[in-house]
Amino acid sequence: MITVHGFSPSGNCHKVRLLLEQLGRRLDRDYAWVETDSAHGATRTPEYLAKNPNGKVPMIERDDGSVLVESNAILCWLAEGTAFLPADPWQKAQALSWMFFEQYSHEPYIAVARFICGWTPLDSPRRAGLPVLRQCGHAALAVMEKHLASHPWFTGSDYGIADIALYAYTCVAPHGGIRLDAYPALRDWLARVEATPGFVPLPAPDAAAQALIDQST
């Protein structure tokens, strides 16, 4: 068994939970979830930092005490040898290219805009950056829309971990004030992801975060 240290409203953590739930359906793979509230300091304790000095979630821990961090690295390790990651080297590299895109051109804008809207005070100076974050977020969604106009998935010809990586924050982009109305192919792709066997939705923010989101978007 592996233990996942994660914060349920986090898209990065939900990537891991979604894959594990879907793997469990196919491979009977079990795991334990330890709720770790990174928004309120749970990843900055001495105990947590001893395991992950970077102080972030998700983190997975094996029975022997070894750990792995960074959501997309975790996805790759979990998916190795399964249908969620292509075996063909070229197709695998294509999937990884979308996962790098998610980390460098998507998550820094869409996820950060969501965090600022839902988990920072209304008078936070970070909110001054929202217009640029939203502009860059739309640019990332436009790249995805162009791909999806002629491809059903991001992990080669089938659903897999590149789709999971991109789904996690795309599905909640409106929480950061980034609407999806202009992206019909992307909305269809979201629906396809949500129809895959074993799919579990990203948990909703708590009431306080949702109230801030409602006031910010």
Torsions phi, psi of 43, nearest 5?
Answer: -95, 5
Higher pLDDT, 26 or 143: 143
What is the rounded average pLDDT of the residues 80-99? 96
The structure tokens 């898209």 sit at 11
pLDDT score at 40: 87
* pLDDT for residue 26 is more than 60: no
Band of pLDDT at residue 145, cut at 50, 70 and 90: very high
Is 28's pLDDT higher than 60? no
Can you spell out the DSSP letters for 79-98?
HTTSTTS-SSHHHHHHHHHH
What residue spans of the chain are helical by DSSP H? Answer: 11-27, 46-51, 71-79, 89-101, 107-119, 130-148, 161-170, 184-194, 207-216
Predicted confidence (pLDDT) at residue 125 exceeds the cutoff of 90 = yes
pLDDT for 1: 86
The model's confidence at residue 27, banded by pLDDT at 50, 70 and 90, is low
* Calpha distance 196→173 (Å, rounded): 21
Which of 91, 80, 110 minimizes the C-alpha distance to 151? 91
Domain ranges of the chain: 2-79, 89-216
The yes-or-no verdict on residue 152 having pLDDT over 60 is: yes
Buried b or exposed e, range 66-102, using 16+ CB within 10 angstroms: eebbebbebbbebbeebebbbeeeebbeebbebbebb
Q: Give me the CATH topology for the region 2-79.
A: Glutaredoxin (3.40.30)
pLDDT tier, 36 (very low <50, low <70, confident <90, very high otherwise): very high
Rounded CA separation 148/153 (Å): 7
Average predicted confidence (pLDDT) for the chain: 95
pTM (2 d.p.): 0.95
Which CATH architecture group holds 89-216? Up-down Bundle (1.20)
Task: Write out the two tokens for 42.
Answer: 């749970």
pLDDT band at 29 (very low <50, low <70, confident <90, very high): low
